[in-house]
Chain A
């Protein structure tokens, strides 16, 4: 199990991250079905990347998720990456 370290330490939550990726895609007007597919593909690749890691920061996780998402939808990846830096 990979832990996310930071101000509040948590365990990596696959479903929560999938929902966040899907929301980012839908916020960019990707249809819900495509958004779900993109999210599951990104999570699948992310799981492989996480396999040999026991601890990562939430920022590293966000960066890697955005990098993987950009292969399917570069605009959604941009939005996903900057959404938490709006203010």
Chain B
């Protein structure tokens, strides 16, 4: 495959899939709340860094495991090059994109909240407030990814299928690039905390941009779906 073709058919949609995954908010919200609670405790700063790192490692390991498992399964079932499979993936991407735009946030009289059922959200609040050990933060990091699987499954499967079209070092670099993009909001929050920035600055920016992030995530998935339909399914 020519380099320009490879960029258009693999690297570009891979980056867009990573950005779509990075736009989902639950993981960042959980880390923000965890950071706030740890900072409010007297013996906090070193523990904050240790637990934040454990949380990020938990999330990163989960995404890596899911991505590699999907690559293995798709390769095993030889689905990678099938135009019909790409058609299914593009449909799923557009469908999930619409669901994100319509349902990812909901408004009530108290404000705009994530799609999570209230009992689940209350349990997460309670669990995060009581987190004091690195292992608990690690498990929360895993939980954040698993809880959003309903939305992140589509970009993950698309990324896995795209990655299978690469070989050797290019594939390894592409896997790392995808993981880096997907996890980048957590890394930005970690660096911001590490440098002693106020958490409210980060949180109020996110609060103001909630609607934008929701539309961005949905639109990216819809655009990705149509893009892949053209390039992969219709052979454009």
Contact = CB atoms under 8 A, between A and B. Distances in A.
Interface of A: 22-24, 26-29, 32, 59, 75-76, 78-79, 82-87
Interface string B163-201: 000000000000000000000000000000000101111
For chain A, what secondary structure do more than half of its interface residues adopt (helix, strand, loop), or is it mixed?
Answer: helix
A79 B207 CA distance: 10
A78 B203 contact: yes
A31 B201 CA distance: 17
A87 B26 contact: yes
A28 B207 contact: no
Contact of A86 (B32, B42, B200): B32
Contacts of A82: 111, 203-204, 207
Given A29-B39, A29-B198, A78-B200, A87 B109 contact: no
Contacts of B30: 86-87
Interface string B101-131: 0000000011111101000010011000000
- Which of under 10, 10 to 19, 20 to 34, or 35 or more describes the interface residues of B? 20 to 34
Given A27-B199, A29-B196, A83 B36 contact: yes
Given A22-B40, A78-B200, 7 more contacts: A23-B40, A24-B36, A24-B40, A27-B36, A27-B37, A32-B42, A85-B112
Contacts of A26: 39-40
Nearest to B116: A87
A8 to B, nearest CB: 12
